[in-house]
Structure 1
Amino acid sequence: EKNQNAYFERVKNKLNYDGLREFAIKNLGDAAAYHNAPGDPNHDIYRDIHARCDTVLKELEDDTEAGAPLIVLAHSMGGHVFADHIWDRQHDQRLTTQRISSCNTIAALMTFGCNIPLFTFAYSFDQILCIANPGTDLPAVLQRQPWWLNFYDKDDVLGYPLENLGIGYKSLADAGGLKDRQINSGSWLSSWNPLSHSGYWRDADFVDEVADMVQSTLDRV
């Protein structure tokens, strides 16, 4: 972010559409920086991000009882990051197998303004796989269908539905594990344009869905 801001300060007012350019730099710049670069400590952002995820999950584990259900809210590229985090722990035996820090007590994943599709275009529909249900250590009463809710606004150019992304996502949706929900995100100033991407956090439709998810989970505990 520091590098993005510094660059934008150097070029703003020299080009047209400064507001749109800042939006693009900060969102597309994150995607460009998120990659593995073994041997280059300045660019191994992927490793650093997932180390931070591990730290936060382990802090949650310390603060809760064993097996406590976890509800994950992931906005924008955060949906891609956390899906990667779950995928790595489901496919790499070297990684931790402790409860929450192994992502095995996730009762619900709620993504919004999710741009996972933008990271998949090197692959065909039949090659695109998906994470499995991460709540395998939860009792049956806390396992739900769908366990992944994905919210998007039709005006949000960085938020997309996932059900038809690839064979893995379609299979998950067909089995009831994944559900896309279209909402109208943002205020009257932003709900009809790309700025809706930043409107989910304060949008009543989305907040009500989160509240319902939290309450229904608590009711089952």
Structure 2
Amino acid sequence: MTAVVFIHGTGVREPHLTTLSGRIVSGLATTAPGVRLTVYDWGGCHGAALAASGASIPAAPGAGTGRNTEISSEGDEAEVWARLYDDPSAELAAAATGAARRVTPPGAALPGERPRALLHGLAARGTAGDGRPVPGLAEAAAGLARSPLLGPASDALGQEALAWVLARALTATVTAQQLAADNPLQSVGDERDATVAVLAAYLGAAPSGTGRGPLLRLAGRPLVHLGSRYAVRRRRALTDAAHPAAGDILKYLARGEGMRQGLRELVATLEPPVVLLGHSLGGIIALDTLISGPLPGVEVLMTVGSQGPFLYETGALPSLVHPDPLPAHVPPWLNLYDRRDLLGYAAEPLFPGRARDVATDSRQPFPVAHSAYWTDPAVYRAIGEQLP
């Protein structure tokens, strides 16, 4: 009788492990009746835990020292900027939505004509009003000058307010471009605000203005419950929820030998043939253990939604460095991944002739797709076909 050793993924603990293993037993019964499932509960003995009850988590806002330790309960600018980095034209669109329709008299300047000319001037210069270079400013200003929102927003806002809105849109665009380019150096809020002030002055704002007002807060409202203020205030709860999964990965990469040794000891107690079935980090543990030395009796390796191939390609897999091949003692490898699972990776292109990929489709978005394998009949069919 074939023994299937199920190695669970990150963050899985009881009672959820029992529920999951019961579902796998039921699924295997339809395609591979008679196999016996053994669960390797590495999370219970080797999984990550907050050993000091979360002493490393910073205190709540207002309890520390230094500037701005208390985070305002309303109008938090970090929330607004998070919204603008995601959509630099959000505030401009909010202004344009409130514009009243009007007819421009013959010979009069069209709405947005003056700010458009100023934006073209910035695009030509590529520098802020004080002459300092701002990477990406020329492209941002040229793009904003072409925006169809500029005219309606000019109708709705006075020169002062429009200048600040445009300055924030330009700054947000430049920052978003830097984020997309993975620029590791980003400015602090004071430097960002100084850039906004210089740009606003060039675009017609009074030097003594601040540009803060209802419109600025309006742009940030969609993120009130998703942004940094919410995360900071609930940091302990969020950490408690996330640390088993994130901590398991970090602990394995730093000190994974205990997990691998536990799997070796479990396999040694089983009658062959043995199949290792690993989900997510469980697949990494299974792959790493097999690479590090032969496991007598193990005839097949199965990984489901696993990051092993990705770690190998990036040089992070502890036991094997790209482009070194799989050792000859590693058994046939079946790797399943869902195309919508962003944590599932392909193995066959990296190990041709040694690994076989099967792409599944749970029709679920990520992250649900990462856990939907065990209710997908196609997964159990692929497993059943590969069993000894």
For Structure 1 versus Structure 2, the TM-score category normalised by the shorter chain is: 0.5 to 0.7
SS at match of 2:336: strand
Letter in 1 for 2:284: H
Equivalent pair of 2:340/2:365 in contact (CA under 8 Å): yes
How many equivalent pairs are there?
A: 162
Structure 2 equivalent of residue 109 of structure 1: 301
What are the superposed Cα offsets for residues 144-179 of structure 1, whole Å, 9 maximum, x if unpaired? Answer: xxx2110001111111111234xxx2xxx2x3x311
1:195 to partner: Cα distance: 1.7
> Which entry has the higher C-alpha Rg, 1 or 2?
2
Letter in 2 for 1:112: V
**Correspondences of 1:29-48 after superposition (within 5 Å):** 29-36=247-254, 45-48=255-258
Structure 2 equivalent of residue 127 of structure 1: 322
Matched, 1:194 2:367: yes
Q: Alpha carbon RMSD of aligned pairs, Å? A: 3.4
TM-score by length of 1: 0.60
Q: Matched residues in 2 for 1:152 and 1:162: separation?
A: 10
SS at match of 1:83: helix
Letter in 1 for 2:280: S
1:204 to partner: Cα distance: 0.8
1:116 to partner: Cα distance: 1.2
Letter in 2 for 1:193: F
Can you give the 5+ residue segments of structure 2 that lack an aligned partner in the other structure?
1-46, 59-224
Structure 1 equivalent of residue 99 of structure 2: none
SS at match of 2:49: helix
SS at match of 1:127: coil
Q: Matched residues in 1 for 2:50 and 2:374: separation?
A: 23
1:107 to partner: Cα distance: 2.1
Q: Matched residues in 1 for 2:241 and 2:370: separation?
A: 10
Q: Against the structure 1 CA distance between its residues 205 and 122, is the aligned structure 2 distance closer, same or farther, given a 3 Å change threshold?
A: same
Matched, 1:85 2:295: no
Q: Matched residues in 1 for 2:299 and 2:323: separation?
A: 24
1:213 to partner: Cα distance: 2.7
Equivalent pair of 2:276/2:300 in contact (CA under 8 Å): yes
Letter in 2 for 1:85: T
SS at match of 1:35: helix
Structure 1 equivalent of residue 245 of structure 2: 27
SS at match of 2:269: helix
Higher RCO, Cα 8 Å, sep 6+:
2
What are the superposed Cα offsets for residues 42-100 of structure 1, whole Å, 9 maximum, x if unpaired? Answer: xxx3221122112211111xxx2xxx3222111111121111111111xxxxxxxxxxx
Structure 2 equivalent of residue 75 of structure 1: 279
Structure 2 equivalent of residue 143 of structure 1: none
Q: Matched residues in 2 for 1:31 and 1:112: separation?
A: 16
Structure 1 equivalent of residue 231 of structure 2: 15
Structure 2 equivalent of residue 148 of structure 1: 333
Q: Matched residues in 2 for 1:209 and 1:85: separation?
A: 23
Equivalent pair of 1:104/1:134 in contact (CA under 8 Å): no
TM-score by length of 2: 0.36
Q: Against the structure 1 CA distance between its residues 153 and 135, is the aligned structure 2 distance closer, same or farther, given a 3 Å change threshold?
A: closer
What are the superposed Cα offsets for residues 10-60 of structure 1, whole Å, 9 maximum, x if unpaired? Answer: 79x941999998886443322211135xxxxxxxx3221122112211111
SS at match of 1:157: coil
Q: Matched residues in 1 for 2:288 and 2:375: separation?
A: 26
Moved more, 25-34 or 47-56: 25-34
Letter in 2 for 1:31: I
Structure 2 equivalent of residue 208 of structure 1: 381
Equivalent pair of 1:150/1:180 in contact (CA under 8 Å): yes
